[in-house]
A and B are shown apart, each in its own frame.
Chain A
Amino acid sequence: MLPDFANPADWLPWAFASLMGLSILIYVVLDGFDLGVGILFPLATPAEQDRMIGSIGPFWDANETWLVLAVGLLLVAFPAAHGMILTALYLPVFVMLVGLILRGVAFEFRAKARDHHKRLWNRFFFVGSLMTALAQGFMLGLYIMGLEQSPATYAFGALTAIFLAVGYSFIGSAWLIHKTEGALQLKSVRWGRESLWGVILGIGAVSLATPLVSPRIFDKWLSFPEVIYLAPLPILSGLLILWLWRMLRSMPYAGDARSWLPFAVATLLFALAYLGMAYSFYPYVVPDRLTIYEAASAPESLFIIFVGACIVVPVIAGYSVLAYTIFRGKATELRYD
């Protein structure tokens, strides 16, 4: 899987695919938790809702920027694939954008609007979060199906849409377990237990469907000796799920110990599932149609971006950590007075 580092036309597309993959993963975990909080929104009381917003308020904007970076990298590093993927996903992309618009502005408007308008913006916040998650899940499903458009692929897309929305709710509740206390924390633990099934079914459905759709992926996983090397991936995922299930049955622990653990383990689980998918599709950027090497921009242009990325991405990581440190601890009920 490793490229020839002596040849820029070989390692640059690989480096950009890795960078893009990493930013999608970071996006899914980070915007995943704040979209999840949005999906759980109607289940909470008004006071709890304010606390929930407080827990994601300082972060959501930066979280969403990882999506811009991921799509930006697709756009700049693999322009041919960018056009092919986005025109095939025209409508779900549109639904996602409307969702992102609604929830993004609802954040600001609900804090400033008259009281009787606030309920309307709350509803937009929930609907926007849900639309975004469903659209992303639908796109994931269609992508796994090789961007084919048929009733069967749409059905699979609908399934992944629901699973991803539940998956986001799961990581959202894991975030809330860490950021809240009292009744809302107890509620979050319950939401986490109830949405864990979505994660299990989602990972299961994708793991089953991917090799069945593509003989190439089937061979990549289920031929000897690969099957031995790859066995730790599903086994580890299974263990993590068991661990989460046990934790959520007895949380919160005395003195609020290890409240960060469910979110950390959920992140690990998402990363493992994602790694499996990345292994399946590499070196394709459009499944079984276009490889990253065929779709890549000119090496000179990629190199220009690569130099910048090497300097800037660590800086971004640094100040993101700074922001999460500044706003660490329990979310507070934020008031003007």
Chain B
Amino acid sequence: METLDTLLLSRIQFAANISFHILFPTITIALGWVLFFFRLRFAQTGDEKWMAAYRFWVKIFALSFAMGVVSGITMSFQFGTNWPGFMETVGNIAGPLLAYEVLTAFFLEAVFIGIMLFGFSRVPGWLHMLATGLVAFGTTMSAFWIIVLNSWMHTPQGFEMIDGQAFATDWWAIIFNPSMPYRFAHMMLASFLTVGFLIAGVSAFRWILGDRSREVRAMLKTGVAIGALLIPVQIFMGDLHGLNTKEYQPAKVAAMEGLWDTQQGAPLVLFGIPDEEARTNHMAVEIPGLASFILTHHWDGELTGLNDFIAEDGTVLHPPVAPVFWSFRVMVGTGLAMLLLSWTAAWFMWRRRALHEGRIAGHWFAVEGLPKPLLWALVPMAFSGWVATLAGWYTTEIGRQPWLVQGVMTTEMAVADVPAPMVMGTLVTYLAIYAALLFAYIGVIAYLARKAAKGDDGQADDMSHSGKAGVMALSPAE
């Protein structure tokens, strides 16, 4: 067992921070575009239900955005307080990428979110729509630059090392590094899936509470449609990403698969308990040849095992196996549950339309078709995107260890010389604050849903003290 030294504590602290942070961009990236869609549909049709959907979700967007901003600022400071070695070694590359994030994305979001939230009655409709679109674009740009940097840390290229410092030689190669396109697409899809299931789950909750409003139907359909359409795309994308990882970070793939020895026709380990001491899996349930087939598309293709990543002197150069192995299974398992649930829901909704053709004219999808148990199953799945995203994130980031920048610098090289008790103290405080905020965040979403379901969309008893009056004033008679 490792002792709780500064390195380990700093890693736990950064992991806690980034885990908390990533929850909110995961929502805002796609929710921004969904809001833009709602706003666009309202402009096209003049149908109040789209604006009601906009008004409901813009509040959750604002809340998620604030949570993302404050935890993001925390992270940007932690580079300096806990990991000064990172910027000192690769600052010449990480610096411009982070600078472009702030310059192109941060300000765009931060300025136009003011207009998006509070500007409805003050600006012309086209400007309000533009502001909504620019905020969505800003969050996407922000994700793009961060993923560029993160991908470069996994598959670095386009630089040379001089006196222990990285110097850029080819910016094109740095930005379009080999894993960036896969990682970016995987993350964007993850965000849309998270939002799809969040919308579906919260709308199902409102439906169960007896809310039969037209906007809840529109939202439920939008959520289920996003989930059902994108989950197969995501599974395909994940497969491509896996192939890319196999090429550039074979040790990570070996840990994901729980594969110890290099072999042809490697089995897919469905279940097992990896044991790094004994270098084997206990209680393994395997399907022969399947891992090789998935990763090489040949039943007898060769996969490199973990035992090949031990240096001559016995230094372990592969990641800790159990966390990578398990988080990968959680991600895939959640993804399969999403596939099953969204397709079942879509099928029921579509069949209902087929049965009642003509009665519910113009609807290619009817919410009435959803059986009660299915609605109940959608509610806890509201946060399934978070589970899958975090699990995927752990797979890829723990899978990079012991490297911070693959093959260039280890995590240990970057850590600050700060006393362990200080890191411990701040870590405990962060954890307490994050737990409380998460509790409040989910509580407020449930409260807003319950209030909206009562047909009381914050109009009567609640004043908008942060000033959503513009948006609220839009449809006075409902």
Q: How far is the CB of B380 from chain A (nearest CB, A)?
A: 22
Q: How far is the CB of B59 from chain A (nearest CB, A)?
A: 6
B111 touches A112 (CB 8 A): no
CB-CB under 8 A from A100, the residues of chain B are 70, 73-74
CB-CB under 8 A from A233, the residues of chain B are none
B263 at the interface (CB under 8 A from A): no
CB-CB under 8 A from A58, the residues of chain B are 114-115, 117-119, 467
Q: How far is the CB of A122 from chain B (nearest CB, A)?
A: 9
Which of A74, A77, A312 is most buried by chain B, counting CB atoms within 10 A of its CB? A312
**Bound CA–CA A297/B165 (angstroms):** 10
A62 touches B167 (CB 8 A): no
**A-contact bits for B444-462, CB 8 A (1 contact / 0 none):** 1001100000000111111
A interface, size bucket: 35 or more
Q: Mark the stretch among A3-11, A82-90, A152-160, A178-186 that contacts chain B.
A: A82-90
B262 at the interface (CB under 8 A from A): no
CB-CB under 8 A from A68, the residues of chain B are 72-73, 76, 102, 106
CB-CB under 8 A from A85, the residues of chain B are 80
CB-CB under 8 A from B118, the residues of chain A are 57-58, 327, 334
B63, B79, B462, B469: the one within 8 Å of A75 (CB): B79
When C-beta atoms are compared, the residue in chain A nearest to B85 turns out to be A83
**B-contact bits for A295-337, CB 8 A (1 contact / 0 none):** 0011011001100110011001001101100110000111111
Q: How far is the CB of B193 from chain A (nearest CB, A)?
A: 24
CB-CB under 8 A from A111, the residues of chain B are 464-466, 468
For the residues of A in contact with B, the DSSP-based class is: helix
Chain B contacts with A in 74-91, Cβ cutoff 8 A: 74, 76-77, 79-81, 84-85, 87-88, 91
Q: How far is the CB of A265 from chain B (nearest CB, A)?
A: 26
Query: Are A336 and B468 also in contact (CB < 8 A) when A61-B114, A94-B81, A326-B119 are?
Result: yes
Q: How far is the CB of B212 from chain A (nearest CB, A)?
A: 22
Q: How far is the CB of B196 from chain A (nearest CB, A)?
A: 23
**A-contact bits for B104-132, CB 8 A (1 contact / 0 none):** 10111011111101110011000000000
B405 at the interface (CB under 8 A from A): no
For the residues of B in contact with A, the DSSP-based class is: helix
B92 touches A301 (CB 8 A): yes
B278 at the interface (CB under 8 A from A): no
A335 touches B91 (CB 8 A): no
Q: Mark the stretch among A102-110, A206-214, A222-230, A248-256 that contacts chain B.
A: A102-110
B87 touches A83 (CB 8 A): yes
Q: How far is the CB of A335 from chain B (nearest CB, A)?
A: 5
A98 at the interface (CB under 8 A from B): yes
**Bound CA–CA A197/B197 (angstroms):** 55
A312 touches B115 (CB 8 A): no
When C-beta atoms are compared, the residue in chain B nearest to A104 turns out to be B70
Which of A75, A86, A308 is most buried by chain B, counting CB atoms within 10 A of its CB? A75
B77 touches A97 (CB 8 A): yes
CB-CB under 8 A from B71, the residues of chain A are 101
When C-beta atoms are compared, the residue in chain A nearest to B97 turns out to be A76
A22 at the interface (CB under 8 A from B): no
A105, A301, A309, A327: the one within 8 Å of B103 (CB): A309
A79 at the interface (CB under 8 A from B): yes
A200 at the interface (CB under 8 A from B): no
A110 touches B466 (CB 8 A): yes
A133 at the interface (CB under 8 A from B): no
B79, B103, B108, B117: the one within 8 Å of A308 (CB): B103
A71 at the interface (CB under 8 A from B): yes
**Bound CA–CA A101/B17 (angstroms):** 12
A113 at the interface (CB under 8 A from B): yes
Q: Mark the stretch among B246-254, B296-304, B368-376, B414-422 that contacts chain A.
A: B414-422
CB-CB under 8 A from B103, the residues of chain A are 69, 308-309, 312-313, 316
Query: Are A94 and B467 also in contact (CB < 8 A) when A77-B95, A304-B171 are?
Result: no
B426 at the interface (CB under 8 A from A): yes
A87 touches B465 (CB 8 A): no
**Bound CA–CA A319/B71 (angstroms):** 25
A64 touches B81 (CB 8 A): no
**Bound CA–CA A74/B84 (angstroms):** 12
When C-beta atoms are compared, the residue in chain B nearest to A77 turns out to be B95
B40 at the interface (CB under 8 A from A): no
Q: How far is the CB of B76 from chain A (nearest CB, A)?
A: 6
When C-beta atoms are compared, the residue in chain B nearest to A110 turns out to be B465
A80 touches B468 (CB 8 A): no
B444 touches A320 (CB 8 A): no
**B-contact bits for A91-135, CB 8 A (1 contact / 0 none):** 101100110111011011111111100000000000000000000
**Bound CA–CA A47/B96 (angstroms):** 46
B440 at the interface (CB under 8 A from A): yes
Given contacts A57-B117, A76-B91, A94-B429, 14 further A-B contacts (CB under 8 A): A57-B467, A61-B113, A69-B102, A76-B94, A82-B79, A83-B85, A102-B433, A108-B466, A109-B63, A112-B63, A115-B462, A308-B104, A319-B112, A334-B468
A→B interface (CB under 8 Å)? 49-50, 53-54, 57-59, 61-62, 64-65, 67-69, 71-77, 79-80, 82-87, 89-91, 93-94, 97-98, 100-102, 104-105, 107-115, 297-298, 300-301, 304-305, 308-309, 312-313, 316, 319-320, 322-323, 326-327, 332-337
26 contacts between A and B (CB under 8 A): A54-B465, A57-B114, A58-B117, A64-B110, A67-B73, A68-B76, A68-B106, A71-B76, A75-B76, A76-B91, A87-B418, A98-B433, A104-B66, A104-B70, A108-B63, A109-B63, A110-B466, A298-B168, A300-B92, A301-B92, A304-B96, A308-B100, A312-B107, A334-B464, A334-B465, A336-B460
